[in-house]
Amino acid sequence: MLGLMQNQPLLISSLIEFAERHHSDGEIVSRRVEGDIHRYFYKDLAIRSRQVANALDALTIGFSERVATLAWNGYRHMEIYFGVSGSGRVLHTLNPRLHPDQVVWIANHAEDQVLCFDASFLAIVQAVHARCTTIKHYVMLCDADKLPQDTGIPNLISYEAWIGRQSSDYTWPVFDENSASSMCYTSGTTGNPKAALYSHRSTVLHAYAAALPDVMNLSARDSVLPVVPMFHVNAWGIPYSAALTGCKLVFPGPALDGKSVYDLLESEKVTFAAGVPTVWQMLLGHMQANGLRFSTLNRTVIGGSACPPAMINAFNDDYGIDVLHAWGMTEMSPLGTLCTLKNKHLLLSKEEQMKIRLKQGRAIYGMDMKIIDEAGKELPHDGKAFGDLLVKGPWIVAEYFKQSEEASAKSPLVDGWFPTGDVATIDPDGYMQITDRSKDVIKSGGEWISSIDIENIAVAHPAVAMAACVGVYHPKWDERPIIAVVKKPGSDVSREALIAFYEGKTAKWQIPDDVVFVDAIPLGATGKMLKNKLRETLKDYKLPQN
Ligand code: AMP
């Protein structure tokens, strides 16, 4: 017997329709590439998203065809999010921080038909368009009178002219909720990048889950600043969850430095912000240097790489801000775990609570996880045993885009579970803690050393801005950890002082054998440390003889 409830597919268009009907005066504020602040409301977003859909019809872009963006977080990007996916096309957010050759490879692989880009990325588009073999239309996100002449880009049109001539009458089509809605390529540190192809169903379910109290706890009372880019896993799904909750949205545009982010947090009375640790490092640096305080911010979600304890402490102790440590992946839409306390933890001491807050967090309903050993056997949830972390759920990839076309293709899944490439523990309360990427784990004398633990200690030193721990060959122990360190401007610390700083903070045999001071640590297009690159630059490095 089937249930007798209405069968309504979970479509992204339902989010924007809902926001228009029930949160029409919810505000969306954007710092624009043009330098000014733009304000409007969900009702305007809905109208202009429909114009985008009509504009795509006018270009005869077919169902499931890809429409790419190269854009910062802003209202026009948000209109494209809903106009493209809502009308049945697939939104492809390109990462402007990639090398132009990678942009070309990815755009051709995705077979993008249209590219919408911010004025600040004009030079990238000029460098790549001749090699992008499938893109037929280029749209610059600007007013008609701001469109530059003689760019050499064929069929270039301004966004405002493109949608301005379209009617705002449009009926969102109804189709299978499993249809593709958007795609995002993984960072691709080894081999060619691979694309996660999200569906309407996976996106809407993820949007529901992201808004839950033990996840981002989003509501119509919030003012939300996604610093995490809309070109990196859909800004962690915030554009969709925002439409679902009617929260105020504040888009930072291209200005991600400490001062710009702080000014926006204050002027727009932001209550909740989301971003990777490097962005918060810049914000905290600006605030500390200028003796500033937050007046409305009450929580921030930090993820994408491990959040150092020093950062959680700074937000918590110095500013009274709740830090929610989060973990996920492009392949997971991206949210997997978030770290919030359970009722029984509330009476624990601050130190005990801190031990929990440092973990990547608990599973969100819709995402299950397990850890396994080398033989594939599931490991206990005792907070000690660590192994490969596997996940499954309706917003986790089953296979990569076009993977089935490759002769050598094999499913990325292992018995229906997706291997994350992370190594982790899970404690009896279900809190997962990443110890490493499997390829970054250091094995010394048969024992494992977590590079994240070693880095966290280094960045707690007041003179250290950034630190990366890698293993180097050792004739007796196989590998020993060394730490590459970027000093804070105007600060100093010696090798000996930093090694002494580890005393008592970790087991003696885990203390790095050496400190290498560097000007910068190579970062990838999504702000993660590129340890492969670092290892390459250290290839002639020799451990000191003890
Ligand atoms: P991406 O697909 O580019 O978002 O990268 C996903 C990877 O980032 C994960 O598999 C982890 O290795 C890493 N990552 C994400 N969040 C965290 C976190 N909170 N702590 C440690 N590593 C993280």
Atom of ligand 1 nearest to the CA of 306: 20
Do 453 and 323 lie in one domain? The reply is no
3-class secondary structure, 439: coil
User: Does residue 543 lie within any of the structural domains?
Assistant: no
Question: What CA–CA distance (Å, rounded) separates 516 from 269?
Answer: 42
**Structure token pair of residue 89:** 């096309």
3-class secondary structure, 176: coil
Instruction: Give pLDDT < 70 ranges for the chain.
Output: 187-191, 407, 546
**Structure token pair of residue 457:** 């200690």
Residue ending a domain, choose from 398, 424, 450: 424
Do 419 and 447 lie in one domain? The reply is no
Question: What CA–CA distance (Å, rounded) separates 2 from 467?
Answer: 57
Atom of ligand 1 nearest to the CA of 332: 2
Do 383 and 532 lie in one domain? The reply is no
Contact 513, 86 (CB under 8 A): no
**Distance from residue 304's CA to the centre of ligand 1 (Å):** 4
pLDDT of 525? 79
**Distance from residue 40's CA to the centre of ligand 1 (Å):** 34
CA angle centred on 523, ends 518 and 525, rounded to 5°:
165
pLDDT of 120? 96
Polymer length of the chain = 546
pLDDT of 499? 95
Q: Is the CB of 360 under 6 A from ligand 1?
A: yes
Do 247 and 385 lie in one domain? The reply is yes
Residues forming the active site: 186, 331, 443, 448
- Number of continuous H segments (helices) and E segments (strands) in the chain: 17, 25
**Distance from residue 74's CA to the centre of ligand 1 (Å):** 24
Do 84 and 187 lie in one domain? The reply is yes
User: Does residue 505 lie within any of the structural domains?
Assistant: yes
Question: What CA–CA distance (Å, rounded) separates 259 from 412?
Answer: 42
Q: Is the CB of 275 under 6 A from ligand 1?
A: no
Torsion of CA 31, 129, 110, 326, to 10 degrees: -30
496: domain CATH number is 3.30.300.30
| pLDDT tens digit sequence for 296-310 | 999 999 998 888 888
**Structure token pair of residue 58:** 């006018």
Closest C-alpha residue for ligand 1 atom 20? 306
Do 353 and 487 lie in one domain? The reply is no
Do 420 and 448 lie in one domain? The reply is no
pLDDT of 188? 55
CA angle centred on 529, ends 202 and 466, rounded to 5°:
125
User: Does residue 478 lie within any of the structural domains?
Assistant: yes
**Distance from residue 411's CA to the centre of ligand 1 (Å):** 21
User: Does residue 195 lie within any of the structural domains?
Assistant: yes
Do 305 and 181 lie in one domain? The reply is yes
Q: Is the CB of 418 under 6 A from ligand 1?
A: no
DSSP letter at 361?
B
Q: Is the CB of 329 under 6 A from ligand 1?
A: yes
Q: Is the CB of 334 under 6 A from ligand 1?
A: yes
**Distance from residue 301's CA to the centre of ligand 1 (Å):** 13
**Structure token pair of residue 285:** 């640096």
Candidate from 329, 423, 431, 529 with most ligand 1 atoms within 8 A of CB, to mutate: 329
Closest C-alpha residue for ligand 1 atom 1? 329
Q: Is the CB of 434 under 6 A from ligand 1?
A: yes
Q: Which of 67, 55, 60 is nearest to 112 (CA)?
A: 67
Do 331 and 381 lie in one domain? The reply is yes
Sign of CA dihedral 409, 410, 411, 412: negative
Half-sphere exposure of 535 (CA within 13 A, CB side): 12
Residue ending a domain, choose from 389, 424, 459: 424
pLDDT of 93? 98
164: domain CATH number is 3.40.50.12780
Do 83 and 112 lie in one domain? The reply is yes
User: Does residue 544 lie within any of the structural domains?
Assistant: no
Q: Is the CB of 450 under 6 A from ligand 1?
A: no
Find all residues with CB under 8 Å of 444, minimum gap 6, and list them: 471, 474, 477, 478, 479, 480, 481, 509, 510
Number of domains in the chain: 2
User: Does residue 206 lie within any of the structural domains?
Assistant: yes
pLDDT of 190? 53
The single residue listed with the structure tokens 């993984």 is: 186
Residue 335: how many other CB atoms lie within 10 Å: 26
Q: Is the CB of 433 under 6 A from ligand 1?
A: no
User: Does residue 1 lie within any of the structural domains?
Assistant: no
Do 226 and 307 lie in one domain? The reply is yes
User: Does residue 94 lie within any of the structural domains?
Assistant: yes
**Structure token pair of residue 33:** 């590439």
Atom of ligand 1 nearest to the CA of 437: 12
Helix (H) or strand (E) holding 114, with range, is strand 112-118
Residue ending a domain, choose from 394, 424, 454: 424
Do 305 and 362 lie in one domain? The reply is yes
**Distance from residue 527's CA to the centre of ligand 1 (Å):** 11
The domain of 338 spans 12-424
Question: What CA–CA distance (Å, rounded) separates 131 from 108?
Answer: 8
Could you tell me the CA-to-CA distances from 350 to 345, 357, 432 in Å, in that order? 10, 10, 20
For the sheet containing 90-93, what is the strand order? 156-158, 137-141, 112-118, 66-70, 90-93, 180-185, 195-199
Atom of ligand 1 nearest to the CA of 526: 3
